[in-house]
Every structure is written in C-alpha cells, then in structure tokens.
Amino acid sequence: MTISMYGMTVPFFTRMLTNLLAIMDKADANAAERNFDTGVLVTSRLAPDMLPFRSQIQIATDHAKGCVSRLAGQPVPSWPDDETTFDELRARLNKTLDLLATVKPTDLDGSDTRPVTLKLRSGDVTLSGEDYIVQRALPNFFFHVTTAYAILRHNGVPVGKSDFLG
Amino acid sequence: MTISMYGMTVPFFTRMLTNLLAIMDKADANAAERNFDTGVLVTSRLAPDMLPFRSQIQIATDHAKGCVSRLAGQPVPSWPDDETTFDELRARLNKTLDLLATVKPTDLDGSDTRPVTLKLRSGDVTLSGEDYIVQRALPNFFFHVTTAYAILRHNGVPVGKSDFLG
C-alpha cells in the first residue's frame, strides 16, 4: 500500500535514461541516412532562448544523480558540462546509469521525511524528501528528458512515444 | 520511509495541471500583446506528425483521470475530445482538477500490488499498480504536460521552467 523512496526514484531515472540512449541510437542512424552530423542535433533548440539538446541531457542526468545523492544524504558528485558530441553525451548517460546501479533501496530509507536543502538562484529551499521528489526532482527530470526527445523529434528523427516510454 | 500511492500520483497531477492553467494565462496575455488568436496555439505542433497542443492537454488529463480511476478500481470516465479553444481546454483542466480533488488517499490503498489492465494498441497489458505508475502513468503524463509547455515556448510565449515547476 506504499512505495519505497527507492521505488519512486531510481526505476524512473534508470528507465528513462536507458530509453534516451536507444532514442539517440535512432537519431544516429537517421543522421547517417539523411547525411548530416549529429553535432547539429547536440546544439539544437526548440526556441532561441531555450537550452540545447546537450544541456537537456546534462541537466536530466544532474537531476538523477542529484536526487539519489541528496536522498541518501551524500554529497552530489560534480561533473563538468563539457560534452560536445553524441558519444560524449552517451558516456554521461552511461555514467549516470552506473551510479544509479550502485544505489541500494536501503540507502534511501527514511529519506521521505529527511530535509533536503536545495541551493536555488532565489536562495536556499528546504523540503522533505517526499516534497522534493514531487515538487522538484521528478518534474525537473521529466522536463529535461522530454525536451531532449522533443528536440530530436522536431528535427525529424523518426521516434515515437513508444521509444520514450520504453 | 515509504510514500502512499496517493502521494505518488495526485499531488503530481494537481500541481502540474494547475501550473498549466497559469502558463495558458501567460500565453493568453502574450497573444493579446502580439495580436494573434490563441486558436493558433491550440493547433500548433512541434513536428507535422506530432499531436497539437489541444491533444497534449486532452491526453495529459486522460492520464491523470485514468490513473486515479484505475488505481481506485473505478471505471475511467470517458470525455469527448472536442475542445477547440483555450477556454474549452481550461475547462477540461479544471474538470480534471475537480475530479482529482474528490480522490481520498484511502481510495488508492492497496493499489500498489493490485493489477491494472491497460488496453493498448498492441493488446492488453497487465501491470501492478506500482509498475503502472513507474512505466506508464507518470512518464505519459509528464510527456504530454512538457510537450504542451514546449509548444507554447517554441511559439514565443514568455514562460520558463519556474512556471512549469510552479
């Protein structure tokens, strides 16, 4: 009748990031077929003042590693945002999946009520672990994963919602 | 150390649909300022073979009402997809929020292990309530909410992630 904090975080992150890898493989194949370099996709945006594909992947993975680290009461690993190619972005996705694979359900025990402090531009915000998941971690994560997908889709990569859902 | 099925569904739906209403208000104001009718946004898409804004709202609300109904073991209310204006889409969002407000946490008790059968194009799929949330309901819901946002943003509506997150 309840779900563990692990169950409400890691399976989402693992599933959606794995799906993104498969979506990027389809983008790769499509770029080869249409004879363009995937570097074009790396810097593509949905609006001139929105972040490019590269940043969507960087921030999605940041939210995944940030969420499990914060809930486990561990420091959030800091990774440079220096990826400029599909292969480098794939490596970042795989690095995140590797990190997620090390998280044990018991690492997140008790984190629903444990306070999580976020350093936002507007100042520090402290939320319970549960509120952090509902108000910040999952909406942010899905925002960037969906936007990454939408940028590829907008550029004609032949993917559909079944690729997104996995 | 655990979250209720209610806690992992209704607060997401309520929060994100409420934020969409506020985002649509900003789109309204922006359309007035730029002198175009929001009807243009209703039928806007990110790709010619993607669904328009209207459908993104219809499907997002379908997933919200579908999820709470299925988890509660109730029939899913069927609503016609006949909205063609911002005001009609707003009414659908409000109708969904009203429905969500009637759900009590106890209505979803035990639904984590109760089987949920989905009628997909590929055939019937049966999942536990928990797997249904992780694999289908929340990813689908966020997919359509984010895409609705992205369509407006792509068309120059001045909104940012703080509007999306609420």
- From the first residue on, what is the mean pLDDT of each consecutive set of 10 residues in chain B (166 residues)? 86 97 98 97 97 98 97 96 98 98 95 91 92 95 98 97 95
pLDDT for res A120: 86
Provide CB contacts within 8 A for B39, sequence distance 6+.
Answer: B84, B85, B86
Is B50 an interface residue toward A (CB < 8 Å)? yes
Is B15 an interface residue toward A (CB < 8 Å)? yes
The Cα–Cα gap between A127 and A108 comes to 16
Q: Are strands B115-120 and A2-4 parallel, antiparallel or unpaired?
A: unpaired
Q: In the predicted model, what is the mean pLDDT of residues A51-64?
A: 98
B143: which chain A residues are within 8 Å (Cβ-Cβ)?
Answer: 142, 146, 149, 161, 164-165
Of the partner residues A5, A140, A153, the one whose CB lies closest to the CB of residue B1: A5
| Torsion sign (Cα): A57, A58, A63, A68 | positive
Of the partner residues A12, A153, A166, the one whose CB lies closest to the CB of residue B47: A153
Partner-chain contact B138 A140, CB within 8 Å? no
Token representation of residue A155: 């550029």
Among A21-30, A37-46, B2-11, B39-48, which is the least confidently predicted range? Answer: B2-11
pLDDT for res B26: 98
Task: With H, G, I as helix, E, B as strand and everything else as coil, classify residue B46.
Answer: coil
| pLDDT tens per residue across span A115-127 | 999 988 889 999 9
Domains of chain A listed by start with CATH number: 5-165 (1.20.120.450)
Q: In the predicted model, what is the mean pLDDT of residues A98-115?
A: 94
Predicted confidence band of residue A48 (pLDDT cuts 50, 70, 90): very high
Verdict on whether the full-model pTM lies above 0.80 = yes
The Cα–Cα gap between A63 and A76 comes to 10
Quote the minimal CA–CA distance from A16 to chain B in Å.
8
ipTM (interface pTM): 0.96
The Cα–Cα gap between A142 and A121 comes to 21
* A13 has a pLDDT exceeding 70: yes
Q: In the predicted model, what is the mean pLDDT of residues A136-158?
A: 97
Yes or no: say if B149 and A46 are a contact pair by the CB < 8 Å rule: no
The Cα–Cα gap between B62 and B81 comes to 10
B-chain residue closest to A46, CA distance: B154
Partner-chain contact A139 B7, CB within 8 Å? no
Is B63 an interface residue toward A (CB < 8 Å)? no
Of the partner residues A2, A147, A166, the one whose CB lies closest to the CB of residue B112: A2
Partner-chain contact B142 A140, CB within 8 Å? no
pLDDT for res A3: 84
Cα B38 vs. chain centroid, distance in angstroms? 20
A3: which chain B residues are within 8 Å (Cβ-Cβ)?
Answer: 2-5, 8, 112, 130, 133
A5: which chain B residues are within 8 Å (Cβ-Cβ)?
Answer: 1-3
* A52 has a pLDDT exceeding 60: yes
Partner-chain contact B134 A11, CB within 8 Å? yes
